[in-house]
Amino acid sequence: MRHCHSRPSNLSFLTSHSLPSTLFPSICSLQSYQTSLPPPPTPLPSRTILLNLVSSIGLLSSSLAPIPPSPSHILHLQTIFSTLITLSTTCNISITSAIQKKIILNAKKYPAKLCKGKSGKYTSYSEETGVTSNIETQSYYKENVYTVNPDITFSDLEAKITEFVTTREWSKFHTPRNVALAMVGELGELCEIFQWFGDSGKPLLLLLINASTCVEARRVMR
């Protein structure tokens, strides 16, 4: 959910279109939605699902490359979100908990009073926060107990992220193109986690996946 540098582009039509409600479980519990999905007839290796996610994010990027962008980004977002849920389920990870924990962790990395209206990396605030590296971030994430709402809806998660962004005055940075590029960055980190685990591996560090970036993409691209 880290913001990225703003780059002006003609994307007004993107933010004026609402995503069809059928693409996202907006009013139901995201956890219930994840657990209700039928398993595939033949379970896929986690890295196969990840490569499908890479492909879907590549298609989203392609749809945003032209100016004006292609409206096909809506369907690509649906595929990305569905694939992300499938990957989380395969790895026995609650995507609901992962997103909420990431919001809490980012609140520590990006205190509103320090980063309001700024686009600096979290290390810019290390002197005040004590978080100086990704290793420390991972340790903090694994060692701390987080209170999450297992019945939170997608709409409520989106509202939490919107509040997080608004409080820090980051909306100016969150254009569709910027958020898509942020998603590509997060995808690279996720691929690095899976790279050496083999096709049967289920790395627990998937908990660090920034699924909130996908939620934020839905918000700014509708």
- Break the chain into its structural domains and give their ranges: 12-221
What is the model's pLDDT at position 133? 75
What is the model's pLDDT at position 190? 85
Is pLDDT of 55 > 90? yes
What is the model's pLDDT at position 195? 80
What is the model's pLDDT at position 58? 93
What is the model's pLDDT at position 18? 35
Give the distance, in angstroms, between the CA of residue 70 and the centroid of all CA atoms in the same chain: 22
What is the model's pLDDT at position 52? 92
For the entire predicted model, the pTM comes to: 0.73
What is the model's pLDDT at position 117? 94
3-state SS class at 72: coil
Q: Which range among 20-24, 105-109, 204-208 has the greatest average pLDDT?
A: 105-109
What is the model's pLDDT at position 207? 42
What is the model's pLDDT at position 26? 58
d(CA 192, CA 89): 19
Q: How many Cα atoms occupy the beta-carbon half-sphere of 18 within 13 Å?
A: 5
Higher pLDDT, 11 or 136: 136
Is pLDDT of 7 > 60? no
d(CA 11, CA 117): 21
What is the model's pLDDT at position 27? 54
d(CA 80, CA 212): 12
The pLDDT-based confidence of 51 (bands split at 50, 70, 90) is very high
Higher pLDDT, 196 or 202: 196
What is the model's pLDDT at position 59? 92
What pLDDT digit, counting tens, does each position of 24-48 carry?
Answer: 555 567 777 777 777 767 778 888 8
Higher pLDDT, 112 or 149: 112
Is pLDDT of 193 > 60? yes
C-alpha distance from residue 151 to each of 25, 30, 42, 95, 211 (Å): 12, 7, 29, 12, 17
What is the model's pLDDT at position 154? 81
Higher pLDDT, 125 or 4: 125
The full length of the chain comes to: 222
What is the model's pLDDT at position 89? 84
